[in-house]
Amino acid sequence: MDGNGRWAEERHRPRLFGHKVGVDSVREIVETASEIGVEILTLYAFSTENWNRPTREVSGLMGLLKSYLRSELRTMMRNNIRLRCLGGQDRLPADVGAVLRQAVADTCSCQGMILNLALNYGGRSELLGAVREMARKCQEGVLDWGAISEASISDHLFTAGQPDPDLLIRTGGEHRLSNFLLWQSSYAELYFTEIRWPDFRKQQFLDAIHTFHLRQRRFGRTGVQVKEA
x/- contact string, 91-130, with ligand IPE (CB under 6 A)?
A: ----------------------------------------
Segment 68-127, which members bind Mg ion (CB under 5 A)? none
Segment 182-221, which members bind ligand IPE (CB under 6 A)? 197
Q: Is the CB of residue 43 less than 8 Å from the CB of residue 116?
A: yes
The nearest distance, CB 4 to Mg ion, in angstroms, is: 7
> Residue 199 catalytic?
no
Tell whether residue 189 is a contact of Mg ion (CB under 5 A): no
Tell whether residue 2 is a contact of Mg ion (CB under 5 A): yes
Reference 168, options 193, 184, 190; nearest CA is: 190
x/- contact string, 70-89, with ligand IPE (CB under 6 A)?
A: --------------------
Partner from Mg ion, ligand IPE, none binding residue 107, C-beta < 5-8 Å depending on class? none
Reference 160, options 129, 187, 119; nearest CA is: 129
Which residue in 4, 24, 50, 155 is the catalytic one? 50
DSSP letters spanning 167-214: EEEE-TT--S-TTSSTTTTTTPEEEE--S-GGG--HHHHHHHHHHHHH
Distant-in-sequence, close-in-space partners of 33: CB < 8 Å, separation ≥ 6: 41, 113, 205
Tell whether residue 61 is a contact of Mg ion (CB under 5 A): no
CA gap 168, 129 in Å, rounded: 23
x/- contact string, 149-178, with ligand IPE (CB under 6 A)?
A: -----------------------x------
> Residue 90 catalytic?
no
CA gap 211, 206 in Å, rounded: 9
| Residue 4 burial (10 A CB sphere; 0-12, 13-18, 19+) | buried
Where on the chain is the footprint of ligand IPE (CB under 6 A)? 1-6, 19, 46, 50, 61, 172, 197
